[in-house]
């Protein structure tokens, strides 16, 4: 590979931090949510009119049927909320990549949709989608974000009708009452924004960011531009310089900074600029050391791949791969690529090629043979074949 003239885009010095705060755990957050919800429901049931108070009567959970009603209502509320986001994404010409409902994760792969179970995420839901085009980007984003709470509110009102008109009784009454209460809590408490600096921003925070159309909204727009670049299948060396410069100068959300550092390292290595590639790789590792487990896993996996295919340093790759908790990786493509790199570092060529094939299988259908993932998979495959 012939080196390509590369502008000097040296990573900035990372300022030191002390006492970095982490977001509360999922169980703690859920406990607070339920506590606030029960408190709000109790207040409403005591001050509301009898017809409204009937919607907030306690659901008996002393029996198996009561627990079943509560569980089914919780699942239905979560599914319908995410369905609102999903339908709006499709209507607004977004490319849907993953859908998560509790522990179930659906991913779009080369041969259609595949399912995975993640036991660590029992009470969350999400729809990951990328706008295919950028016209009216902000308005379309606002609609997609608002569609989830909107679906929650509308379905709660629909479920309240048979309760209000006394058409429901017995177990069905318990189910509808639980559904209305859970949906009401999700809607009202979802109106309270969390911190804009949170790793996962709720609907209220995202809506405010987009509505204000300031620096944080521009950060999301840049993130979408970068993902669209990968979706287009453009090889790293052909990334447009204006976008490379925006990524290099970005100072904002840590997860975005880590992604951009990894992409800039890939861009530099693909252009034969090993000095810049090593510098941005080191930058990504430095940033990810303070980030989430997902960010650390991804950066370590990327750096280990750089060790194997560019730096010819198997020992360094082995050490980095040993530090990765593979079972915690959500992305099946990244998980199989990590295992492929581990096998290549150990000289197990047949297993490497099999894992590369598996990683490619889980790539989204619309992703061309470019971008960070495709680039590293292609290089791992070439390295394994050359050894063989």
Q: For residue range 144-191, what is the model confidence (pLDDT) as tens digits?
A: 999 999 999 999 999 988 887 777 788 888 888 889 888 988 888 788
Burial 336-368 (b: 16+ CB within 10 A, else e): bbbbbbbbbbeeebebbbbbbebbbebbbeebe
Which two structure tokens, joined as six digits, stand for 269?
């290595």
pLDDT in the model for residue 16 = 43
Q: Which helix (H) or strand (E) holds 230?
A: helix 215-231
Instruction: Clarify whether residues 207 and 240 are in a common domain.
Output: no
- Residue 253 DSSP code: -
Res 385 pLDDT > 60:
yes
pLDDT band for position 369 (cuts 50, 70, 90)? very low
- In this prediction, residues 71-77 reach a mean pLDDT of 91
- In this prediction, residues 76-85 reach a mean pLDDT of 94
In a domain, 222, yes or no: no
Instruction: Clarify whether residues 325 and 270 are in a common domain.
Output: yes
pLDDT in the model for residue 104 = 87
Instruction: Clarify whether residues 30 and 132 are in a common domain.
Output: yes
The 10s digit of each residue's pLDDT in 281-321 is: 999 999 998 888 888 899 999 999 999 999 999 999 999 99
pLDDT in the model for residue 56 = 65
In a domain, 15, yes or no: no
Bridge-based pairing state of the strands 112-117 and 125-131: unpaired
Distance from the Cα of residue 25 to its chain's centroid: 17
pLDDT in the model for residue 289 = 87
Instruction: Clarify whether residues 265 and 312 are in a common domain.
Output: yes
pLDDT in the model for residue 44 = 56
In a domain, 216, yes or no: no
As a whole number of angstroms, the distance between CA 288 and CA 295 comes to 6
In a domain, 218, yes or no: no
- In this prediction, residues 39-53 reach a mean pLDDT of 58
- Cβ neighbours of residue 73 under 8 Å, at least 6 residues apart? 175, 176, 178, 179, 181, 182
Could you tell me where the DSSP H helices lie in 48-136? 50-53, 64-91
Mean pLDDT over all residues of the chain?
Answer: 83
Collapsing DSSP to helix, strand or coil, 339 comes out as helix
CA atoms within 13 A on the CB side of 375: 28
Candidate from 20-24, 65-69, 74-78 with smallest mean pLDDT: 20-24
Structural domain tally of the chain? 2
Instruction: Clarify whether residues 124 and 263 are in a common domain.
Output: no
pLDDT in the model for residue 330 = 78
Read off the pTM: 0.80
In a domain, 240, yes or no: yes
Candidate from 60-64, 122-126, 135-139, 146-150 with smallest mean pLDDT: 60-64
Range of the domain at 338: 235-387
pLDDT in the model for residue 151 = 95
- Considering only residues 73 and 8, tell me which one the structure prediction assigns the higher pLDDT: 73
pLDDT in the model for residue 39 = 61
pLDDT in the model for residue 123 = 73
Candidate from 25-39, 109-123, 228-242, 254-268 with smallest mean pLDDT: 25-39
Instruction: Clarify whether residues 345 and 246 are in a common domain.
Output: yes
């Amino acid at each position: 590979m012939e080196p390509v003239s590369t502008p000097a885009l040296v990573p900035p010095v990372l300022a030191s931090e002390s006492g970095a705060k982490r977001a509360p755990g999922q169980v703690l957050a859920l406990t607070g949510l339920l506590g606030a919800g029960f408190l709000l429901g109790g207040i409403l049931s005591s001050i509301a009119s009898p017809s409204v108070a009937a919607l907030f009567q306690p659901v008996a959970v002393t029996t198996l049927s009561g627990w079943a009603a509560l569980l089914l209502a919780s699942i239905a509320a979560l599914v319908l909320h995410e369905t609102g986001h999903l339908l709006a994404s499709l209507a607004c010409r977004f490319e849907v990549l993953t859908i998560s409902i509790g522990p179930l994760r659906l991913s779009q792969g080369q041969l259609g949709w595949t399912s995975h179970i993640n036991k660590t995420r029992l009470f969350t839901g999400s729809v990951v989608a990328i706008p295919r085009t950028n016209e009216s980007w902000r308005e379309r984003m606002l609609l997609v974000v608002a569609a989830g709470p909107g679906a929650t509110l509308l379905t709660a009102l629909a479920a309240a009708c048979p309760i209000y008109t006394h058409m429901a009784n017995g177990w069905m009454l318990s189910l509808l009452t639980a559904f209305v209460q859970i949906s009401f809590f999700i809607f009202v408490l979802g109106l309270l924004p969390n911190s804009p600096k949170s790793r996962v921003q709720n609907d209220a925070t995202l809506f405010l960011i987009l509505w204000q159309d300031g620096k944080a909204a521009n950060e999301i727009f840049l993130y979408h531009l970068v993902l669209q670049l990968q979706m287009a299948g453009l090889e790293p060396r052909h990334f447009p310089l204006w976008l490379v410069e925006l990524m290099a100068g970005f100072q904002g959300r840590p997860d975005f900074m880590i992604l951009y550092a990894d992409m800039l390292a890939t861009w530099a290595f693909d252009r034969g600029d090993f000095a810049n590639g090593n510098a941005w790789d080191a930058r990504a590792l430095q940033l990810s050391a303070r980030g989430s487990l997902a960010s650390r896993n991804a950066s370590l996996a990327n750096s280990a791949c750089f060790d194997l295919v560019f730096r010819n340093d198997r020992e360094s790759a082995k050490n980095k791969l040993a530090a990765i908790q593979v079972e915690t990786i959500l992305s099946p493509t990244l998980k199989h690529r990590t295992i492929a790199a581990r096998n290549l570092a150990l000289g197990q060529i047949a297993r490497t090629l099999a894992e590369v094939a598996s990683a490619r299988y889980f790539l989204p259908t619309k992703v061309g043979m470019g971008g960070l993932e495709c680039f590293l998979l292609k290089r791992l495959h070439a390295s394994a074949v050359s050894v063989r």
